[in-house]
Amino acid sequence: MPRPADSAPAIDRSAESAADDANRSPAAARRPAALPRHLDLNLLRAFEALMLERNVTRAATRMALSQPAVSGMLNRLRAAFDDPLFIRSQRGITPTLKAQGLAEPIHRILAEADQLLLPDEFTPATAAFTVTVAATDYALRAVVTPFVVALRAQAPGIKVAVRPLDEATVLERMERGELDLALLTPESTPPELHARRLFDERYVAAMRASHPCAALADWSLDDFCAQDHGIVSLQGGGFTGATDAALALVGRQRRVVMSVPSFVMLLDLIRSTDLVALVPERLIDDPQGLCVKAPPLPVAGFTKLLAWHGRTHGDAGHRWLRQLLVDACARPEPAGPARR
């Protein structure tokens, strides 16, 4: 983590070498430089400006400060080092032997501080680490698959570990560092997490291509309700969902005869039986063997979010990964009824 700009590290004098002393003037070599603890980093910047300019007014201009402000900083430096440091001369100020001995270590500290404050650099092509993602089987197909395709092309050294999504433990697992990303809905996202909208999903009706309803040019709600339906129940065993809530609003019911925990499994069943199911549209990028229709009544879809913890929020590599995932999910919003 970058060191705050209002503090500076103490110099470890034991690390100074004899060669460093040999490069100083004889007088400076007899007076090894030592910096007081907890010295304000801005004071060190003022010291370097004074060394470079040898003039208080020009040093103030260099630092975009007033001349009285730099004079005050010089007084604080003198008190901290118990030395005049700079003596008035005919053309400005002249550094004392003490100041000459301090010039090199102060310059080194400032250079190191500047490096710490630079933004992290990230090179996807050479990056090598593991990112963990919690996802349902829907999100695995609709989000993780296109993400990994893009990732392999740009950052082949980054590994992806997909974990089952347990909404109740997402926050705890992220806090422990067990998860980096989670694919959630707004309702299931803990408020403590950062989140970004990926897309809004809608449901389409799917059936095998040779299903009797596939040939209907304009199928009705009666046609829909007369079929045997399959449903996904993530917790297992449920036989009602968003479609049943929409039907209840218009006083209708359907007949659900199959409940499975996976959309992938449900699509396989639809291709092999006379079952009809409402499924998220993004799962049917390849409609081979299927007939896809708009539902005969409005059914509320859902929004998919990408969520992450504050511990990875500012990391350059994770910022790049999150943007790549968002871009991989991008597609034009549907402009009309679902394809048939």
Question: What's the average model confidence in pLDDT over 232-240?
Answer: 83
The whole-number pLDDT of residue 170 equals 96
Does 200 have pLDDT greater than 60? yes
pLDDT number for residue 80 = 92
pLDDT at 235: 73
Given the structure tokens 């299931």, which residue do they identify?
188
CA 143 – CA 303 distance, rounded (Å): 12
Same-domain check for residues 318 and 191 = yes
Task: Say whether both 282 and 251 belong to one domain.
Answer: yes
Task: Answer whether residue 85 is part of any domain.
Answer: yes
Domain assignment present for 340: no
Rounded to an integer, the average pLDDT of 74-80 is 93
What is the rounded end-to-end Cα distance, in angstroms, of the chain?
54
Rounded Cα distance between 70 and 172, Å, is: 50
Per residue in 245-258, pLDDT (tens digit) is: 999 999 999 999 99
Query: Do residues 284 and 311 share a domain?
Result: no
CATH of the domain at 135: 3.40.190.10
Write down the pLDDT at residue 308.
Answer: 97
What is residue 332's predicted lDDT score, i.e. its pLDDT? 60
pLDDT at 36: 66
Looking at the structure, do residues 82 and 159 belong to the same domain, yes or no? no
Tokens of 306: 């990408």
Helical ranges in 82-169 per DSSP H: 97-117, 137-139, 145-154
Does the structure show a pLDDT above 70 at 339? no
**Residue 242 covered by a domain:** yes
Q: Are 226 and 99 in contact (CB under 8 A)?
A: no
pLDDT at 38: 67
- Residue where a domain terminates, one of 95, 117, 139: 117
pLDDT band at 115 (very low <50, low <70, confident <90, very high): confident
Q: Does position 145 have pLDDT exceeding 70, yes or no?
A: yes
Tens digits of per-residue pLDDT, 8-34?
333 232 333 333 333 333 333 334 455
How much is the pLDDT for 218? 87
- Two tokens at 170? 């997402």
CA atoms within 13 A on the CB side of 218: 0
Residues 216 and 137 both lie in one domain: no
Is 231 inside a domain boundary?
A: yes
Looking at residue 98, which CATH number applies to its domain? 1.10.10.10
Tell me how far apart the alpha carbons of residues 73 and 54 are, in angstroms, rounded to a whole number.
15
Check whether residue 154 and residue 95 sit in a common domain. no
Claim to verify: residue 58 and residue 182 sit in the same structural domain:
no
Give percent above pLDDT 70 in the chain. Answer: 85
CA 129 to chain CA centroid, nearest Å: 14
Whether residue 79 lies inside any domain: the answer is yes
Span 41-73, pLDDT tens digits? 899 999 999 999 999 999 999 999 999 999 999
Both structure tokens of 260: 């499975």
**Of 87, 117, 147, which closes a domain?**
117
Least confident of 13-17, 155-159, 297-301: 13-17
Check residues 221 and 36 and name the one with the higher pLDDT: 221
Both 168 and 207 in a single domain?
Answer: no
- Alpha carbons within 13 angstroms on the beta-carbon side of residue 66 total 3
274 and 313 inside one domain: no
Same domain, 92 and 32: yes
Residue 9's CB is within 10 A of a number of other CB atoms, namely 15
Q: Are residues 128 and 163 in the same domain?
A: yes
CA distance to 10, 75, 88, 101, 102, per residue, from 106 (Å): 11, 17, 22, 9, 6
Q: What would the mean pLDDT of 132-140 be, rounded to a whole number?
A: 95
What's the pLDDT at 16? 30
Asked whether residue 134 is assigned to any structural domain, the reply reads yes
Distances (CA, A) of 127 to 115, 123, 130, 151: 20, 6, 10, 11
Do 228 and 179 share a structural domain?
Answer: no
Any domain includes 217:
yes
pLDDT at 133: 98
CA–CA dist 108, 102 (Å, integer):
10
CA distance 42 to 61: 15
- Number of domains making up the chain: 3
- Smallest CA-to-CA distance from 158 within 130, 196, 137, 134 is with 130
The enclosing H or E element of 205 equals strand 203-208
pLDDT value, residue 26: 39
The predicted model gives 116-131 an average pLDDT of 86
Domain stop point among 90, 117, 144: 117
Range of the domain at 43: 13-117
- pLDDT at 1 > cutoff 60: no
What are the respective helix, strand and coil percentages of the chain, to the nearest 5?
Answer: 45, 20, 35
pLDDT top residue among 295 and 31: 295
Note whether residue 163 is domain-resident: yes
pLDDT at 24: 37
